[in-house]
Structure 1
């Protein structure tokens, strides 16, 4: 059984990660709207934020290894 404190900690960790993600996306959007970055740079950067982490390979990502 998972204790309530553990669930609260997990919820807090998830919320923190999404807050940081939203801040990065907002920063990129502001740079894009200020013509500091190109559309391609903006889209590639956002896709990297939403993509798998650098330590994952295509074979480890479910659905990409032909499984």
Structure 2
């Protein structure tokens, strides 16, 4: 394996780490947004739980706007 191949693999791994961190940051922002709405009595427990389950449930696109009322992107 050449040095150029090693560098290319290392750069690709760093990009993957960055993508994963971005996805989890967005997930945490959406969860916090929902929690704040719940604590402010703006949504019911059912809405909170359904929305969080959509966020953490299986999905092809984790950043999709499945949360009603969330426009933080």
TM-score normalised by the shorter chain: which range applies?
Answer: 0.7 to 0.9
Task: Report whether the alignment pairs 1:23 with 2:29.
Answer: yes
Q: How far, CA to CA, are the matches of 1:4 and 1:37 in structure 2?
A: 45
TM (norm. structure 2) is 0.70
- The secondary structure found in structure 1 opposite 2:41 is coil
Runs of 4+ in 1 over 3 A off after TM superposition: none
Q: Unpaired runs of 5+ in structure 2?
A: 1-5, 62-73
Could you say which residue in structure 2 is the equivalent of 1:32?
Answer: 38
Q: Which has the higher contact order (CA 8 A, sep 6+)?
A: 2
Could you say which residue in structure 1 is the equivalent of 2:9?
Answer: 3
Question: Larger Cα Rg: Structure 1 or Structure 2?
Answer: 2
Q: Unpaired runs of 5+ in structure 1?
A: 56-67
TM (norm. structure 1) is 0.76
